[in-house]
Structure 1
Amino acid sequence: MQSRFRDWGDVRVFLAVMREGSTLAASRHLGLNQTTVARRIDVLEHIFDETLFDRSTRGAEPTERATTLLPYAESLEQAALAFEAEALKGRASAPIRITAFEDETFGNIGAVVAEFVEENPGISFEFVFSERHLDMMKAEADVALRMAPAISDGRLVARKVGQTQWTYYASGAYAAKHALPVEYCDDMEDHTVHLLNHVKSKRHNLVRCATSNDILIALQTGQGIGPLPVTVGDANPNLVRCFDPPDHASLPIWLITSPAALKRPDVRRFTTFAAPRLVRNLKNSNRVSDQ
């Protein structure tokens, strides 16, 4: 070795590159400049006197040595998180404010929070289920779960935790009385279509809804057809699909925070805890929907 390891921050960067697959994605996850991330990897490679990542335009491929170091880095991460948790004990802290569209769509975030609080009883949360995207940079929320093709504000720290598909549903009773559309491009003029407020449409037979739960209630009571996440619609025994999810009806789900919020140890600890659990929950719910 050429020098001694002294900085836990370099290990955080190493773990982020391992998990995100590139220095660019790691920089967004950590809220750091990409050059800073690359420089810290260079420092670690100098310490170990070995190449840890084969870098190319496709990303950063971990070498065998990096894979060997991964469990040791994860152990350091757990020790650092435990240290932060101990520092938080007995200290009054503002609740972590989470915004999401609706719990069922987002990998059961409520259950993830409950599990986290059980392990970290001194940390509290405030939920804001809203169709409006709160301004993270203005601290309207500390953590957000959003469906979007991409995160437009490059200042935010975002990690993709899953994918959700949507399609149209109706109640079984409604389907028995009406000929349902068999694909998205079909004429739906004979049906009352329930859509979310922000969804653009030129249809005249619309009922606008504030949340997908409002659509769910309307469909269950036989008031027409409308789109729902397959994780919600397929799990409801009273609903039937009109057609399979169209190719365009799939959106990534992002776990988002701001650089300022990420400076809080409790927020940083929660996002580290929540991300892999949300990935697991969303994979499981999509697997059930496909059966």
Structure 2
Amino acid sequence: MADAPPSWDLYRSFLAILRDGSLSGAARSLGLAQPTLGRHVLELEHRLKISLFTRSQAGLTPTAAALELRPYAEALEASAHALLRVASGSQDEVRGTVRLTASEVISIEVLPPILAELRHAHPGLVIELVVSNRNEDLLRRDADIAVRMVQPTQRALVAKRIGAIELGLHAHPAYLARAGKPRTAADLAQHAVVGFDQPSLFARGLTIGNHAVTREMFSLRADNDLAQLAAIRAGYGIGVCQVPLGRRAPGLVRILPSVFSVPLECWVAMHEDQRATLRCRVVFDALVEGLSAYLKT
């Protein structure tokens, strides 16, 4: 009789050690004893007939075979979590877990009031919020629903276009009181400007007036959108902000709207199979309604 395939517990321990780099760190993250994790690794190596880790002063170093296995183990992890979310729900009441992913700014600045209202209406819902600018794979079930800033291209997805969120240059009134308000794009050279360190694909196509946007323009460089927004709000200088966010109290002042205005697409997407799941439909509809209202502020 053929050997049974390795259990999910073994792969879960394998992934935890990969991510933490040590038995002690993985044991803390999983709430297991180090000897248990050690046994899991040895058993998985025995079952697969390969070596997964080598010991070094820095901890446990994954072998080439372990790195090759990682995406497949992560796919198992995503499927296991999706199975638990499906099992947690009900077909005739809004309860259970929905895993939602969105960008940093949308997750922190826009979604909280939408999710709070959703929780008030449906206290049986549990939301798992994945804050990431990376597009999580809905087909692989990394998340149930995604708020995306690009149009989804994968088949088997249900996608709703919310509209375009306008991006504009903004500054805090206190900064403008000190430095003055630029009247032309050329005036920006005399100002503190907040922007990226390493340009994303989106940022590489930006222009202000007739000038391409480059990192040399910035006196504060950060690749984290929230760090940039915090600097603008603190009065460091001028930077890019979603126009609806800039209008919120205490408000920022928009700078040179005729020179810099960039549309950022906003979509809500989920796997088409989730249409049959009541809790996912409810969250999907709430996101569409809430984000549509945000665009109008």
Task: Identify the TM-score tier after normalising by the shorter chain.
Answer: 0.5 to 0.7
- Looking at structure 1, the residues matched to 168 and 139 of structure 2 have their Cα atoms a distance apart, in angstroms, of 33
Shift, 1:254, TM fit: 0.9
Q: Deviations over 1:29-58 (max 9, x none)?
A: xxxxxxxxxxxxxxxxxxxxxxxxxxxxxx
Shift, 1:211, TM fit: 4.2
8 Å contact kept, 2:165–2:263: yes
Q: How does 1:73-152 map to 2 (within 5 A)?
A: 87-88=92-93, 93=96, 95-102=97-104, 108-148=110-150, 150-152=151-153
8 Å contact kept, 2:168–2:261: no
Determine the structure 2 residue equivalent to 1:188: 188
8 Å contact kept, 1:163–1:250: yes
Shift, 1:122, TM fit: 2.1
8 Å contact kept, 2:168–2:262: yes
Determine the structure 2 residue equivalent to 1:220: 233
Q: Does 1:164 align with 2:165?
A: yes
Q: How does 1:263-278 map to 2 (within 5 A)?
A: 263-278=276-291
8 Å contact kept, 2:105–2:225: no
- Bigger Cα Rg: 2
8 Å contact kept, 2:246–2:252: yes
- Looking at structure 1, the residues matched to 158 and 113 of structure 2 have their Cα atoms a distance apart, in angstroms, of 23
Q: Deviations over 1:109-137 (max 9, x none)?
A: 33333333333322211112222222222
| Secondary structure of residue in 1 paired with 2:113 | helix
8 Å contact kept, 1:166–1:229: yes
| Secondary structure of residue in 1 paired with 2:176 | helix
Q: Across the two proteins, how many residue pairs are aligned to each other?
A: 196
- Looking at structure 2, the residues matched to 87 and 209 of structure 1 have their Cα atoms a distance apart, in angstroms, of 46
| Secondary structure of residue in 1 paired with 2:174 | helix
Shift, 1:228, TM fit: 0.2
8 Å contact kept, 1:105–1:232: no
- Coordinate RMSD, CA, aligned: 3.2
Q: Deviations over 1:86-107 (max 9, x none)?
A: 7347x8x4x2111122466899
CA gap 1:112/1:220 in 2 versus in 1, 3 angstroms: closer
Shift, 1:158, TM fit: 0.9
TM-score normalised by the chain length of structure 1: 0.56
8 Å contact kept, 2:107–2:131: no
Residue identity opposite 1:205 in structure 2:
M
Q: Which runs of 5+ in 2 are unaligned?
A: 1-88, 205-212
Residue identity opposite 1:171 in structure 2:
H
Determine the structure 2 residue equivalent to 1:249: 262
Residue identity opposite 1:87 in structure 2:
D
State which drifts further: 255-264 or 104-113. Answer: 104-113
- Looking at structure 1, the residues matched to 106 and 182 of structure 2 have their Cα atoms a distance apart, in angstroms, of 26
Q: Which runs of 5+ in 1 are unaligned?
A: 1-83, 286-291
Residue identity opposite 1:221 in structure 2:
A
Percent identical pairs in the alignment equals 26
CA gap 1:237/1:122 in 2 versus in 1, 3 angstroms: closer
Determine the structure 2 residue equivalent to 1:230: 243
8 Å contact kept, 1:101–1:211: no
- Looking at structure 2, the residues matched to 153 and 223 of structure 1 have their Cα atoms a distance apart, in angstroms, of 40
Residue identity opposite 1:151 in structure 2:
P
Q: How does 1:23-102 map to 2 (within 5 A)?
A: 87-88=92-93, 93=96, 95-102=97-104
Determine the structure 1 residue equivalent to 2:210: none
- Looking at structure 2, the residues matched to 128 and 245 of structure 1 have their Cα atoms a distance apart, in angstroms, of 35
| Secondary structure of residue in 1 paired with 2:190 | coil
Shift, 1:182, TM fit: 3.4
- Looking at structure 2, the residues matched to 182 and 155 of structure 1 have their Cα atoms a distance apart, in angstroms, of 48
Shift, 1:260, TM fit: 4.0
8 Å contact kept, 1:164–1:252: yes
